[in-house]
Amino acid sequence: MQSNRVKALLKKGQPTFGVWIWIDSPDAVEMLAHLGFDWLVFDMEHAPVDIGAVQSLMQASNGTEITPFVRVAWNDIVMIKRALDIGAQGLVIPWVNSKDDAVKAVQAARYPPRGLRGVSPRRAALYGLDRNYLAEADNNIAVIVQIETPEAVENAKDILSVDGVDAYFIGPMDLSTSMGIQGQFDHPEFRKAITRVADAGKALGIPGGIMCRSVADIKRAVEDGFKFIALGTDFDYLRWGAQIALAAVGRAERAGT
């Protein structure tokens, strides 16, 4: 089994950078995988892709140093199992609001006796050619829980204390919306929530991640000490590139810039 480079970097406290994949395009994935990012997250929560499409997208990053993560649609044992069986080396689990939710996520990602994952790894074990997969998977797979509600912020210390949680991830839009202050990322209450989660992570030695949608977001994420930093999405890059081109020919207003 290929060692999980990103998990190792996070354990050392090193920052890692990646992209969220929303577009069903192997060409786009292949290009991004060769640009120097550390990881890609193939999003099954919001993107219109099924498990077969994600496998094909993941295969497009073969031969690079990319660590493939999948954000499953829900904290569900079957969804988690299928994502791992197609070769995900890491998981992003949405809507983890309590310690019990975190335990459920970790157990779904681990084989018995440590967890509940069914045994049939398919592509993850190179279709039976990797005889070490079953012995190495539990320690190699990274589990990242999403903190996206006031309840999760309140329970952050308990969530991050669960053995097997490797990192947490904050979606600023989800969290701010659930707090009733949608998009107000400088709001004192939002900043207080971020600090509370970050302090819990630092106390327990659990690194954090966050979604960035601008250069200013990226600078703040680095300053705040986040280690699993999303530098936008493939969707963002397509829009930003088009807006720059349109602005150059005097169509900035029509391009929404």
212-253 pLDDT tens trace: 999 999 999 999 999 999 999 999 999 999 999 999 999 887
Q: Catalytic residue at 187?
A: no
pTM for this prediction: 0.96
C-alpha span between 166 and 22 (Å, rounded): 24
Contact 91, 143 (CB under 8 A): yes
Look at residues 56, 12, 75 and name the one whose alpha carbon lies nearest to residue 38.
12
48-85 pLDDT tens trace: 999 999 999 999 999 999 999 999 999 999 999 999 99
Residues 6+ apart with CB under 8 A from 160: 102, 145, 168, 200, 201, 204, 206
Instruction: Exactly one of 13, 14, 31, 46 is catalytic; name it.
Output: 46
C-alpha span between 58 and 63 (Å, rounded): 11
Look at residues 160, 235, 249, 244 and name the one whose alpha carbon lies nearest to residue 196.
160
170-209 pLDDT tens trace: 999 999 999 999 999 999 999 999 999 999 999 999 999 9
C-alpha span between 218 and 234 (Å, rounded): 16
- CATH architecture assigned to 5-248: Alpha-Beta Barrel (3.20)
C-alpha span between 8 and 183 (Å, rounded): 33
